[in-house]
């Protein structure tokens, strides 16, 4: 099948060529439909920039980036941006802006809230909800758009343990609802990576230094022999 994303030596540089910051350097990767890919690495390694590049929020300054424009995307951030509207309104408005009649958008919003267990909060101001509830609203908003590609930037990093489990369970459900759903997410939680991902990409200083099936990434010998920097990262994060 046609790749969802195809990057060849892609780079993202902010500022002047002779100065500024290289957020990504010569990243080459292919993402195929149905893959569940985790991006791991220290803060500042380029995970967020890579997600933004895949979604089209960042522009590559070198190399090549090809996206399958026939596939609908949705992206969630660590702290979702919710408007000063009701929970239902936050979901329905996005659908309406895409051309869905308001009545149909409202019905779809209720269905999305039922999917994440928040129907009883439909008329609450979205900004008054807890962090976990806001992230579930953001997931409902994404699900309502029927995306074929879901990009997540540390979606549970700022949540308490109970909310993390709830949000992670929803992500797992969404990713497995269709064999063609593609999931790319950044996470510092290696347990979460093991539970959600089928493939792991390790980034360091803007470069993708390891790209392995999840079993090989955590098995030890192959990672230690061929990708020592990624091996040290896993050891440090697991300590």
Please indicate, yes or no, whether residues 13 and 118 belong to a single structural domain of this protein: no
Q: Which domain holds residue 127?
A: 83-146
φ and ψ of 128, to 5 deg: -95, 0
Average pLDDT of the chain to the nearest whole number: 92
Query: Same domain, yes or no, for 65 and 98?
Result: no
Residue 78 resides in a domain: no
* Average of per-residue pLDDT across 126-142: 93
**Does residue 220 share a domain with residue 105?**
no
Does the residue 95 lie in any domain? Answer: yes
Question: Is residue 106 domain-shared with residue 117, that is, in the same domain?
Answer: yes
Helix (H) or strand (E) holding 213: strand 207-213
pTM, entire model: 0.91
| Residue 180 confidence (pLDDT) | 77
Give the total number of structural domains in the chain: 2
Encoded tokens for 200: 């792991």
- pLDDT for 238 equals 60
Number of other CB atoms surrounding residue 239 within 10 Å: 5
pLDDT of 97 > 70? The answer is yes
Average pLDDT over residues 116-145: 94
- CB within 8 A of 25, min separation 6: which ones? 11, 46, 205, 206, 207
| Mean pLDDT score, 113-139 | 94
Asked if 182 and 31 touch (Cβ cutoff 8 Å), the reply is: yes
**What's residue 82's pLDDT?**
92
For the record, the structure tokens of 135 come out as 């992230």
Are 155 and 214 contained in the same domain? yes
CA 43 to chain centre: 16
Total number of residues shown for the chain: 239
3-class state of residue 188 by DSSP: coil
CATH (domain of 55): 3.40.50.300
Shared-domain flag, residues 98 and 61: no
Could you read off the pLDDT of 195-221 as tens digits, one per residue?
Answer: 999 999 999 999 999 999 999 999 867
pLDDT at 104: 97
């Amino acid at each position: 099948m046609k790749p969802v994303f195809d990057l060849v030596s892609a780079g993202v540089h902010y500022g002047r060529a002779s100065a500024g910051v290289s957020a990504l350097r010569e990243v080459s990767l292919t993402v195929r439909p149905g893959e569940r890919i985790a991006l791991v690495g220290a803060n500042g390694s380029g995970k967020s920039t890579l997600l933004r590049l895949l979604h089209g929020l960042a522009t590559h300054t070198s190399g090549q980036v090809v996206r399958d424009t026939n596939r609908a995307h949705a992206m969630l951030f660590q702290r979702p941006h919710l408007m000063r509207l009701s929970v239902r309104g936050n979901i329905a408005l996005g659908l309406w802006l895409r051309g869905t009649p308001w009545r149909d958008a409202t019905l779809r919003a209720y269905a999305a809230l039922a999917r994440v267990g928040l129907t009883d909060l439909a008329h609450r101001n979205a900004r008054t909800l807890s962090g976990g509830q806001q992230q579930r609203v953001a997931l409902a908003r994404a699900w309502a758009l029927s995306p074929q590609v879901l990009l997540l930037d540390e979606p549970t990093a700022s949540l308490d343990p109970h909310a993390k489990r709830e949000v992670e369970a929803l992500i797992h459900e969404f990713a497995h609802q269709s064999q063609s759903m593609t999931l790319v997410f950044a996470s510092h939680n290696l347990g979460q990576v093991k539970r959600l991902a089928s493939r792991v990409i390790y980034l360091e200083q803007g470069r993708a230094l390891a790209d392995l099936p999840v079993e090989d990434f955590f098995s030890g010998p192959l990672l230690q022999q061929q990708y020592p920097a990624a091996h040290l990262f896993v050891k440090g994060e697991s300590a």
